[in-house]
């Protein structure tokens, strides 16, 4: 259907998509007063009556073909020119089809909230000034490297042809921590700019304090639009306008920055591409990394994925040649990687409860580091969800034999549950491996650790960085500022503390309990553990002094811990890919997670069973494997009960055929529960 013709349908009917979960357009009548210019209808916003109110929708074009039934009138056309061009429209169509969402919801991603739903036309004027740089970015001036190292230069030279063309090419810039990936991004953006093209630089959510953002700000100054989370809707709109008008052509931000209205993009960078923050769990459940690639292909520009610890999917593509695989194997200035040691906590467990956190090795190293004026970061990966059992003597936990994920303990029935296939079994009385009787729940927190540290190191400045403390406004800034000025000597934190920071005085990093992550009921548990150890290690020894990392674990033989502590990347990826293939997980399978939730437990469990029954029939027909329903690891969340159904397919085609049928089926109207689809899920809790 070509809707770009200037001809007018005799009926004056138009199709409009609205930002709700219904996946087909609605037909309205365009009153003659509004029929002035019907060329390029598509992408213009309209105000339309919908159900009992009015909503802002997007014109698709003239309605073609017959139409029966009543139509309501379009109230108003809000834009004289389409806000969304053909390119954006195509990308949105791809996303809507792939993530099985409505086009209206997907189009909404491309606009600042001020131009969507609740916006009343004519309300307020925009100020066209750049928004203030937040405090976090004023922390320290970055020293911009004057000259690239040979390795950086070689990497740049391999990517430049795609920037100069430009042409679509996915690149995995696989460079160890401290290898200077940022400088490569900056140079690429410079060349793109010289070609008259802008760049989109994605940073994980935490990126506000990342030195990548700082680097771009100091190099490109007024041309940068920084789409950080602290912007008000008004400021966001201002930034959007700055980009749209061409004042800003370097966009730095989280996954949503992908939808910035750059007129001529020339490069997309996804820094720390392995980071889970790029995935949206709700609504249009897109993965920023994957959509970056779709946009790159659509626009014909290179997409650079940077990481020291790429995800298995990207790594596999790089190995197969689908992506350009560029390695940076040395730190800038040939600084050595931190010295890594593994402490076996089965041997070095401290009988004193309060000191059980810290092996003698870690304590001594801390005292030593502090004595020499260095800073210490302790990383503890705590998540408050269903606890796991492990043997206190040998560290063994229980894995589901079918799914290769950790089983978790439930107080209600006192059984171990697999949250993928719902297998349940008695917890072991004695450890299956060492026959020891000390099988206990583990549950540990950064808060407790902080308290203990205050007692042990009363003279040191100590702070904790995790989602609890980061909530407090300005707190994160304070902590990072403390690390920078030296006011803090010890920082304790969750993975928040391992991400992208560059503080040269940190010379010791302790991974307090490396096994916590391994016991998550998540098939990516090993991958995360591997990444977190190396990312945590990446914070150490970025200055003149060599860094040290101490990894405390009860499973020193686990392949993730062995490979991370030996910096043996290829071994880790080879081993992990074997497991993924054996158990049928990405990159060898496509997953879709159906999340069912209900306020009423019985209602929810019935709905989960019924959904699984319907999905099960379709799954058989389409050759897709179905696991569940199983209560979600976070069974109760915000007063809802939650269940999961996991679908595994060898390819996305079968999976989509199934999902289309499942979600389109209009059974009898059911209420009291919700089924949400998460395609390519990352958050398995
Ligand atoms: P990565 O992101 O790969 O961990 P960074 O980009 O943070 O590494 O670089 C690490 C440090 O090295 C930064 O302080 C950066 O300014 C510095 N650096 C990068 N490239 C060079 C260079 N060519 N010469 C000197 N210093 C550099
Ligand atoms: Zn299982």
265 closest CA partner among 336, 162, 115:
162
3-state secondary structure at position 207: helix
596 in the same domain as 531 = no
pLDDT tens digits along 156-179: 999 999 999 999 999 999 999 889
- Which residues make up the environment of ion ligand 2, defined by Cβ < 5 Å? 400, 402-403, 418, 420-421, 423
End of a domain among 87, 121, 155?
A: 121
DSSP H helices, 8-135, are 86-98, 103-108
Give the residue, 105 or 396, on which the prediction is more confident: 105
CA distance 274 to 79: 39
In angstroms, the CA 35 to CA 601 distance is 52
* CA–CA separation, 378 and 366 (whole Å): 10
Question: Going by DSSP bridges, is the β-strand pair 375-379/506-511 parallel, antiparallel, or unpaired?
Answer: parallel
The model's pTM: 0.89
Cβ atoms 476, 363 nearer than 8 A:
no
In a domain, 393, yes or no: no
Are 594 and 671 within one domain?
yes
DSSP state at residue 669: -
pLDDT of residue 97 exceeding 70, the answer is: yes
Contacts for 325 with CB less than 8 Å, ≥ 6 apart: 172, 174, 318, 319
| DSSP-based three-state secondary structure for 456 | helix
pLDDT for res 669: 61
Asked if residues 248 and 215 have their Cβ atoms less than 8 Å apart, the reply is: no
Give residue ranges with CB within 6 A of ligand 1.
143, 145, 147-149, 152, 175, 177-183, 211, 332, 502
From ligand 2's centre to the CA of 649, what distance in Å?
A: 17
Residue 136 phi/psi, 5-degree rounding, is -55, -30
Q: Give the residue, out of 172, 269, 330, 332, with the most ligand 1 atoms within 8 A of its beta carbon, to mutate for a pocket test.
A: 332
Instruction: Name the residue among 498, 570, 489, 487 with its Cα closest to residue 529.
Output: 498
- Residue nearest ligand 1's atom 23 by CA: 148
**191 CA to centre of ligand 1 in angstroms:** 19
Domain annotation covers residue 425: no
Q: Which ligand is nearest to the CA of 404?
A: 2
- The answer to the question of residue 15 being in a domain is yes
Q: Quick check: 11 pLDDT over 70?
A: no
Ligand found nearest the CA of 408: 2
Residues 141 and 106 in one domain: no
CB within 8 Å of 653: residues ≥ 6 apart: none
Report how many domains make up the chain. 4
Q: Where are the beta strands (DSSP E) in 242-369?
A: 250-253, 265-271, 302-307, 324-328, 339-344
Distance 344 CA to ligand 2 centre (A): 29
User: What does the block give as tokens for 628?
Assistant: 């569940």
State the distance from the centre of ligand 1 to the C-alpha of 182, rounded, in angstroms: 7
181-194 vs 150-164: helix axis angle to the nearest 10? Answer: 30
Task: For residues 88 and 163, state if they share a domain.
Answer: no
Closest atom, ligand 1, to C-alpha of 148:
23
Q: Are residues 483 and 574 in the same domain?
A: yes
Residue ending a domain, choose from 529, 548, 579 = 579
Residues 617 and 572 both lie in one domain: no
Q: How many CA atoms lie within 13 A of 320 on its CB side?
A: 10
Nearest CA to ligand 1 atom 9: 180
Token output for 288: 């920023």
What's the mean pLDDT in 29-36? Answer: 82
pLDDT at 462: 92
Nearest CA to ligand 1 atom 13: 180
Query: Which mutation among 140, 141, 145 tests ligand 1's pocket best, with the greatest number of atoms within 8 A of CB?
Result: 145
Pick from 516, 573, 549, 595: nearest CA to 274? 573
Reported as a single tens digit per residue, the pLDDT across 319-368 is: 999 999 999 999 998 888 999 999 998 887 666 655 677 889 999 999 99
CA 616 to CA 625: how far, in whole Å?
8
> For residue 60, what is the domain's CATH number?
3.40.1440.60
Averaged over 672-677, what is the pLDDT? Answer: 92
List C-alpha distances in Å: 317 to 80, 300, 454, 603: 44, 19, 46, 43
Q: Would the pLDDT of 521 be above 90?
A: no
Tokens 């990894």 -> residue: 551
How many residues are recorded in the chain? 685
The residues pairing with 268 across neighbouring beta strands, listed in sequence order, are: 200, 303
Question: What are the pLDDT digits (tens) for 448-490?
Answer: 778 888 888 999 999 887 766 666 656 777 777 888 888 899 9
Q: Does one domain contain both 268 and 185? A: yes
pLDDT band at residue 149 under the 50/70/90 scheme = very high
The pLDDT of residue 292 is above 90: yes
Of 144, 179, 182, 541, the residue with max ligand 1 atoms within 8 A of its CB, to mutate for a pocket test, comes to 182
The ligand 1 atom at the shortest distance from the C-alpha of residue 177 is 4
CA of 419 to the centre of ligand 2 (A): 7
DSSP string, 472-516: STTHHHHHHHHHHHT--SEEEESGGGGSS---TTEEEEEES-THH
Please give the average per-residue pLDDT across 182-206, as a whole number. Answer: 94
Beta bridge pairs of residue 643: 596, 631
647 C-alpha to ligand 2 centroid (Å): 13
Whether residue 299 has pLDDT greater than 80: yes
Most confident of 288-297, 326-335, 510-519, 520-529: 288-297
Q: Which ligand is nearest to the CA of 148?
A: 1
Nearest CA to ligand 1 atom 17: 180
Cα(579)–Cα(64) distance, rounded to whole angstroms? 51
Helix (H, G, I), strand (E, B) or coil at 211: helix
| Final residue before a domain boundary, out of 121, 146, 171 | 121
State the closest ligand 1 atom to the C-alpha of 175, by its place in the atom list counted from 1.
3
- The pair of structure tokens assigned to 282 is 């709700």
Which backbone phi and psi does 273 adopt, to 5 degrees?
-60, -20
Q: Are strands 548-553 and 506-511 parallel, antiparallel or unpaired?
A: parallel
311 and 374 fall within a common domain: no
CA distance 222 to 472: 30
Six token digits for residue 154 = 């070689």
Residue 538 CA: nearest ligand 1 atom is: 4
Ligand with smallest separation from the Cα of 646: 2
Assess whether 372 and 301 both reside in one domain: no
Please tell me the number of the ligand nearest to residue 421's CA. 2
- The residue whose C-alpha atom lies closest to atom 5 belonging to ligand 1 is 180
CATH code at position 511: 3.40.50.300
Any domain includes 528: yes
Shortest-distance atom of ligand 1 to CA 504:
14
In this prediction, residues 12-23 reach a mean pLDDT of 91
Band (384; pLDDT cuts 50, 70, 90): very low
SS3 156: helix
Ligand nearest to the CA of 542: 1
* Helix axis angle, 525-538 to 569-583, nearest 10°: 160
| Confidence at 310, pLDDT banded by 50, 70, 90 | very high
Testing ligand 1's pocket by substitution, the residue of 154, 176, 180, 310 carrying the most ligand atoms inside 8 A of its CB is 180
Tell how far the Cα of 608 is from the centroid of ligand 1, in angstroms.
50
Question: Residue 645 corresponds to which tokens in the numbers above?
Answer: 């159904």
> Which residues have a Cβ under 8 Å from the Cβ of 70 and sit 6 or more positions away?
none
DSSP code of residue 385: S
Overall average pLDDT of the 627-640 stretch? 86
Q: How far is the CA of 536 from the centre of ligand 1 (A)?
A: 17
Distance 144 CA to ligand 1 centre (A): 8
Same domain, 185 and 94: no
> Is 428 inside any structural domain?
no
Note whether 536 and 626 are same-domain residues: no
Contact 648, 662 (CB under 8 A): no
Neighbours of 212 (CB within 10 A): 24
Ligand having the closest approach to the CA of 583: 2
- Whether 66 is covered by a domain: the verdict is yes
Distance 334 CA to ligand 1 centre (A): 11
Residue 494 neighbours by CB under 8 Å, 6+ apart: 379, 380, 381, 382, 446, 465, 466, 467
Q: What is the pLDDT of residue 187?
A: 97
Alpha-carbon span 364 to 372, nearest angstrom = 12
Claim to verify: residue 570 and residue 673 sit in the same structural domain: no
| Domain span holding position 635 | 590-679
Mean pLDDT computed over 19-46: 85
Expressed in angstroms and rounded, the spacing between residue 173 Cα and the centre of ligand 1 is 14
pLDDT at 632 > cutoff 70? yes
Mean pLDDT along residues 436-442? 76
Which are the contacts of 526, defined by CB distance < 8 A and separation ≥ 6?
Answer: 518, 558, 559, 560, 576, 579
**Residue 108, number of CB atoms within 10 A of its CB:** 22
Q: Which ligand is nearest to the CA of 423?
A: 2
Give the Å distance between the CA of 535 and the centre of ligand 2.
30
Under 8 Å CB-to-CB from 390, ≥6 apart: which residues? 396, 397, 439, 440, 442, 515, 519, 554
Q: Is 70 helix (H, G, I), strand (E, B) or coil?
A: coil
Tokens describing residue 201: 């630089």
pLDDT of residue 620: 96
Q: Which of 51-65, 129-143, 554-568, 634-648 has the lowest mean pLDDT?
A: 129-143
Alpha-carbon Rg for the chain, nearest whole angstrom, is 27
SS (H, E, C) 565-583: HCCCHHHHHHHHHHHHHHH
Are 265 and 298 in contact by the 8 Å Cβ rule? The answer is no
Mutation probe of ligand 1 site: the residue of 152, 172, 183 with most atoms within 8 A of C-beta: 183
Whether residue 182 lies inside any domain: the answer is yes
> Looking at the predicted structure, is the pLDDT value of residue 666 above 70?
no
- How far apart, in whole angstroms, are the C-alpha atoms of residue 303 and residue 325? 12
What is the structure's pLDDT at 209?
Answer: 59
The two tokens of residue 642 are: 């939650």
Query: Angle CA(415)–CA(417)–CA(423) in degrees, nearest 5?
Result: 110
- Centre of ligand 1 from the C-alpha of residue 177, in Å: 9
| Three-state DSSP class for residue 276 | helix
How far is it between the farthest Cα atoms of the chain?
85
Say what the pLDDT of residue 635 is: 83
CATH code for position 615? 3.30.70.600
Instruction: Assess if residue 293 is contained within a domain.
Output: yes
Q: How does pLDDT run across 232-268, given as a tens digit for each residue?
A: 889 899 999 999 999 999 999 999 999 999 999 999 9
């Amino acid at each position: 259907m070509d809707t770009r013709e200037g001809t007018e349908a005799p009926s004056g009917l138009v199709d409009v998509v609205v930002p709700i979960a219904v996946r087909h357009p609605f037909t309205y009548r365009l009153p003659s007063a509004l029929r002035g210019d019907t060329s390029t209808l598509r992408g213009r916003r309209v105000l339309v009556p919908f159900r009992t109110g009015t909503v802002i929708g997007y014109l698709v074009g003239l309605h073609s073909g017959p139409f029966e039934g009543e139509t309501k009138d379009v109230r108003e056309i809000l834009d004289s020119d389409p806000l969304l061009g053909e390119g954006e429209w195509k990308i949105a169509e791809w996303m809507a089809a792939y993530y099985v969402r409505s086009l209206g919801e997907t189009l909404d991603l491309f606009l600042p909230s001020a131009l969507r739903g609740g916006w009343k036309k004519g309300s307020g004027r925009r100020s066209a000034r750049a928004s203030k740089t937040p405090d976090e970015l004023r922390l320290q001036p970055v020293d911009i490297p004057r000259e690239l190292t040979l390795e950086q230069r070689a990497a740049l030279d391999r990517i430049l042809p795609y920037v100069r063309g430009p042409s679509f090419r996915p690149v995995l810039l696989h460079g160890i921590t401290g290898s200077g990936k940022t400088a490569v991004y900056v140079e690429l953006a410079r060349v793109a700019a010289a070609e008259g093209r802008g760049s989109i630089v994605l940073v994980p959510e935490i990126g506000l304090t990342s030195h990548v953002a700082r680097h771009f700000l100091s190099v490109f100054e007024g041309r940068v639009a920084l789409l950080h989370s602290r912007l008000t809707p008004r400021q966001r709109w201002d930034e959007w306008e700055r980009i749209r008008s061409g004042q800003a052509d370097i966009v730095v931000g989280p996954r949503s920055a992908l939808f910035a209205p750059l007129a001529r993009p020339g490069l997309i960078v996804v820094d720390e591409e392995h980071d889970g923050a790029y995935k949206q769990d709700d609504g249009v459940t897109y993965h920023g990394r994957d959509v970056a690639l779709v946009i790159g292909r659509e626009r014909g520009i290179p997409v650079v994925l940077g990481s020291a610890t790429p995800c298995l999917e990207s790594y596999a593509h790089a190995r197969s040649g689908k992506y350009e695989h560029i390695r940076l194997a040395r730190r800038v200035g040939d600084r050595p990687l931190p010295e890594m040691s593994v402490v076996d906590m089965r041997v070095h467990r401290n009988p004193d409860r309060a000191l059980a956190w810290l092996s003698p090795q870690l304590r001594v190293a801390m005292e030593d580091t502090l004595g020499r004026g260095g800073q210490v970061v302790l990383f503890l990966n705590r998540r408050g969800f269903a606890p796991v059992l492990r043997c206190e003597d040998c560290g063994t936990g229980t894995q589901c034999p079918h799914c290769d994920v950790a089983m978790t303990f439930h107080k209600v029935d006192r059984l171990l549950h697999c949250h993928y296939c719902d297998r349940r079994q008695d917890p072991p009385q004695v450890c299956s491996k060492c026959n020891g009787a000390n099988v206990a729940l583990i549950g540990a927190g950064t808060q407790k650790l902080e308290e203990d540290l205050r007692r042990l190191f009363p003279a040191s400045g100590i702070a904790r960085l995790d989602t609890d403390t980061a909530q407090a406004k300005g707190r994160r800034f304070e902590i990072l500022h403390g690390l920078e000025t030296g006011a803090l000597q010890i920082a304790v934190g969750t993975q928040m503390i391992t991400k992208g920071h560059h503080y040269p005085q940190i010379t010791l990093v302790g991974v307090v309990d490396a096994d916590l992550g391994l016991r998550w009921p998540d098939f990516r548990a090993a991958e995360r553990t591997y990444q977190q150890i190396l990312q945590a290690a990446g914070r150490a020894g970025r200055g003149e002094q060599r860094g040290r990392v101490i990894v405390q674990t009860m499973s020193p033989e686990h392949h993730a811990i062995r490979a991370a502590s030996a910096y043996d990347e290829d071994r880790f990826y080879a081993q992990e890919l074997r497991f993924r293939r054996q158990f049928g997980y990405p990159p060898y399978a496509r997953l879709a997670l159906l999340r069912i939730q209900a306020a009423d437990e019985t209602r929810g469990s019935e709905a989960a069973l019924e959904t699984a029954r319907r999905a099960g029939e379709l799954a058989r027909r389409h050759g897709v494997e179905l696991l569940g329903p199983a209560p979600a690891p976070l069974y109760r969340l915000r007063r809802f009960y939650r269940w999961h159904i996991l679908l595994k397919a060898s390819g996305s085609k079968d999976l989509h055929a199934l999902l289309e049928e499942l979600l389109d089926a209009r059974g009898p109207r059911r209420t009291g529960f919700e089924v949400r689809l998460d395609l390519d899920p990352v958050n398995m809790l």
